[in-house]
Amino acid sequence: MLVAVHRAVRFISTRWVVALATGFALTACVGVSTLPATVETPTPSDDAVITLHYNERPPYLITTGDGVGGLTGEPTTRVFTASGIAYRWEQTPSKRQIYLLQQNAGQDCLVGWFKNTEREGFAQYTLPVYRDEPQVALARADNDTISSGHAVVEAFSDPNLVLLVKDGYSYGDYLDRQIRDLNPVRTITTIENSGMLRMIAAGHADYFFIAPEEVDGLLASSEFDGHDFKAVHFTDIVSGEERYILCSRQVDPAIIERLNRSIELYVVLPTEEAPRVAQ
């Protein structure tokens, strides 16, 4: 477990002890002793430290020699440090992370998650720490049944196209609603993007959604030639989803306010895109 804990330091001022001795002739005799300055570095209790849960996910969350970096890891580190909030990083599977927030038993926060209605029922959100580029779908390059330049509804309405989705995963409010309302033919999996790519290559599904930031790294780390796949762009996905820090309700709301002030000062998001094109 990778731990990065920032401890507050409290100074105890030098104390001067003055002893007064009174003689029989009422003559005052003053003695002064100086104690050396003492600096204490108390270790915060477990209840005082925020646990930042993450799973390795380049380019968003990347374990480094002294913490966690990446597109969401670096700004999260920056705002916790700037806010003077004690924290530690802990690698935790994604489904376990959500379970911990639902249990609301500790000082737990998740890094770089989308906001949706279900999660707002059990989590507190900070301001966004990153905004994605508009999502794309990955498909085999030789799959002529899906191509760029169409709306999501066209792909979701085609019974011959199988969407691959990760169990318990949110694709942002817009796609989550479209999946719920249009109920496309789909296969649900618990594997990571690398395994999903293999399923697409093997023909077990036709496409899955992914942030453009992840595409190059995913293809480069796979056993496939990047030219074997294509990114499919949809006309109604023109704005990227924002990523937030989610915290349990055990976390003091004052902590969220402090984080938000630091986010406003130290995090700059890309300019918001134009509204989605109505289809």
Helices 212-220/193-201 angle, 10° precision: 70
Rounded to whole angstroms, how far apart are CA atoms 265 and 270? 15
pLDDT tens readout for residues 67-89: 999 999 999 999 999 999 999 99
* N residues, the chain: 279
pLDDT tens readout for residues 169-224: 999 999 999 999 999 999 999 999 999 999 999 999 999 999 999 999 999 999 99
Helices 73-83/253-266 angle, 10° precision: 110
Topology adopted by domain 1-131+242-279: D-Maltodextrin-Binding Protein; domain 2 (3.40.190)
- Are 1-131+242-279 and 136-232 the same fold in CATH? yes
Query: How is the chain split into domains, by residue range?
Result: 1-131+242-279, 136-232
Q: Is the pTM of this model over 0.85?
A: no
pLDDT score, position 16: 28
On whether the CB atoms of residues 100 and 170 are closer than 8 A, the answer is no
Ranges of the chain with pLDDT below 70: 1-47, 271-279
Instruction: State whether CATH 3.40.190.10 applies to domain 136-232.
Output: yes
Task: Report phi then psi at 201, rounded to 5.
Answer: -60, -35
